[in-house]
Structures are given as structure tokens and as C-alpha cells.
A and B are shown apart, each in its own frame.
Chain A
Amino acid sequence: MQFEIRDPRPIWQQLAQQLRERIVTGVYPPGSHFPTVRELATQAGVNPNTMQRAMAQLELDGLLITNRTAGRTVTEQRDVLDSMRRQLARERTEEYLKYLEALGFDRRAAADLLAPEGEDNHE
């Protein structure tokens, strides 16, 4: 899996976003060891300070727990993970809706497109 830095947002935000996705999709399972700043920075080809900032954000989110001795681990708290999962889903949905709005679909029409083919969402 590759980190992608392609939009003009601050780099640390893009890294934080992609790390969150990795955690909630189970690339780094709950309770597992999280790689070090240096490892991830090398993998992403970014400055360790930037990666550090992204990981600090994940600690703030509650996704990462820092132990004094054992480095960082992924949280085992289901509710934290679930709420992050929902937040990411909501963000992506907003993007989707914004895009479709630009294409001329209102929210209802946009939602209709999500229905499985052949099924009708109207009551």
C-alpha cells in the first residue's frame, strides 16, 4: 500500500487521513503494534516531522495509544474505531454528494444512484 500526496492540502493532513483509513480497515488491527515515525516516513517518502505531526493527530483522535516503553499501539476501543469509521464514511459521502451536485443531481437523485441495479427506492 502506498501513501498518496496529490492534493494541495497540508501534507500531514493527507497522511493522517490515510493512516486513519489503514486503521479502521484493519491494515493495523486493534491492539497491534504501530510502526515508528521513521518507518512510516521512509515508506511514504516524507519528512519524519510531518509524519510525526500526522501521528500526533491520530493520538488526539484516540486511534493511537502511546506507551512509554512499548511504542505506539492501535486502540482496542470499539466505539472510537466505529465513530472514526463513520466520520470517514460521512466525509466521503459529502464529497460524493458535492460532486454529483456539480453534475446537476440533487441529494435525492444522488441517493437513487446508490440503489442496487433493478431495485426501486421509491415507496
Chain B
Amino acid sequence: MNELLTCTGLTRYFGQTKALDGVDLTLTSGKIVGLLGPNGSGKTTLIKIMNGLLQPTAGEIRIMGSAPGVASKGMISYLPDRGYFPEWMRVGDMIEMFYDFYADFDRDKAEDMCRALGLEADSAIKTLSKGTREKMQLMLVMSRAAKLYLLDEPIAGVDPAAREFIMQTILTNYNEDGTVLISTHLISDVEQVLDEAVFLQQGRVVLHEAVDSIRERTGESVDALFREMFRAQLY
């Protein structure tokens, strides 16, 4: 298979706390993968290491053969779990910035999506509502034909209608040759778009399997299996 990303023994401490504990994970191209785990299981830490915002304490990560760096950042489209727009920017500045820095950015697509949302190029970003800003951030991220999309909790804290909009935006825009990694603890909303599920528990990968294979093997949905495995932490 065409390996896109491999982690071997990836470990990260924060002071005395172990956020990641020897993660071994291989992702191949052309998949939508769910990174599933309760809050505090290490999802965000793992994603930050993948895009070079954090260095592992031990272990190794390779993205298309090399360590995270300028080259991998050009191939990864990252949606963090927070708003990141500079307060001085207008909508047009942001689009121009993505166009300037990312060779795989489809400017027309982004502009069309912004127009559909009723955003003018000269509207100041700080005047937009939180929900609109989140949508705009997702649109920018999904307007790239990236090799790897890292979407950190894209549907946390939004209402069901917005969730559907978000999942549809992801599905209709991602580059099918690339891989999408979606981290979430809301499994039922994403299960049907996933090829594979990765369960993260206390910084360890406890399961990595195709969704339909999980359903075939256990006779349960991934959501049900997840609830069973993480009952202790969820309640």
C-alpha cells in the first residue's frame, strides 16, 4: 500500500503526564479515517505532532518518508480545534494568504463557497459571528487538494444542522487521492463517512480497523463499540 504517514513508538510527555504513550500508526492514501477517543485521550497532541506544532518526546513520525517540516506542511491541510484568524484581516486577505502559500489551494472554489455563505471579500473577519468564522475556516481548509487533511474536532460544539453542513462540506470537497483524518468523540455523526477507525485510549492506539470490518466482526456499530470500550471514561 502507499504509505502516507507512519508513527512508531510516538510518545509525548507534558511535565509528568504522558499524553501519548508509544503510538504506532500507519495511514495510507485515499481514506477517511476517524481518530476516536474521549477528551484527553491524546487526539489533539497526536495531530499537533503530525503537523509539526509539537515535537515528540520519543519515537518517530514520517510523512511521505520525511519528518514534519516545510515540505509536509505544504501537503497537510489542518483545521485546528479553535479559531485562528488574525484579527486585523478581511475575508479577502485570508483567501489571498492561502493562495500565496499553498500551491494546492483552489481560489475559485474558496471564493465560491464564501459567496454562498454571503461573505464579501472586504468584510472584516472580527465582525463575523463565531459560527460563520468556523465555517469559513473549514472552507479554506477544504479548498486545498491536500495529501492529508487533519481535522481536529470539526463538529464539536455545533448544532446538528451545522454538523451536517460541516460533514457535507468535507465529503464534497476533499481530494479523493488524499487522506482525511477526523478527530472526534462524537462517533455517531461521522461513522458513516469513515473508512477506518482509530481508537485512542490514554495515549495508546487500542484499535485500528476498517469500519465495515468492525461491524462485520462485532455485529455492532462503531459508535456502540466505542461506548462499550470507553464507558468508564464517558460516564
Contact = CB atoms under 8 A, between A and B. Distances in A.
Interface string B211-227: 11101101111001000
A10 B171 contact: no
Given A46-B193, A47-B32, A49-B195, 9 more contacts: A5-B192, A8-B224, A10-B215, A10-B216, A42-B171, A47-B171, A49-B31, A50-B195, A50-B211
Interface in A8-35: 8-13
Interface size class of A (residues with CB under 8 A): 10 to 19
Contacts, number: 50
Given A8-B221, A8-B224, A47 B172 contact: no
A48 interface: yes
Given A8-B220, A8-B221, A45 B193 contact: yes
In the A-B complex, the 8 residue pairs with the smallest Cβ-Cβ separation, listed nearest first, are A10-B212, A8-B221, A10-B215, A46-B192, A47-B193, A8-B220, A5-B192, A47-B32
B194 interface: yes
A42 B212 CA distance: 19
A41 interface: yes
B181 to A, nearest CB: 13
18 contacts: A8-B219, A8-B221, A9-B215, A10-B213, A10-B215, A11-B212, A12-B212, A13-B212, A41-B171, A42-B171, A45-B167, A45-B171, A46-B192, A46-B193, A49-B31, A49-B32, A49-B195, A50-B195
B59 interface: no
Interface of B: 30-32, 164, 167-168, 171-172, 176, 191-195, 211-213, 215-216, 218-221, 224
Contacts of A8: 215, 218-221, 224
Contacts of A5: 192
A12 B210 CA distance: 12
A44 B30 CA distance: 19
Interface of A: 5, 8-13, 41-42, 44-50, 53
A48 B30 CA distance: 10
Contacts of A47: 32, 171, 192-195
Contacts of B216: 10
A45 B32 CA distance: 13
A102 B20 CA distance: 49
B30 A45 contact: no
Max count, chain B CB within 10 A of own CB: residue among A5, A8, A50: A8
B155 to A, nearest CB: 13
Contacts of A10: 211-213, 215-216
A42 B168 CA distance: 7
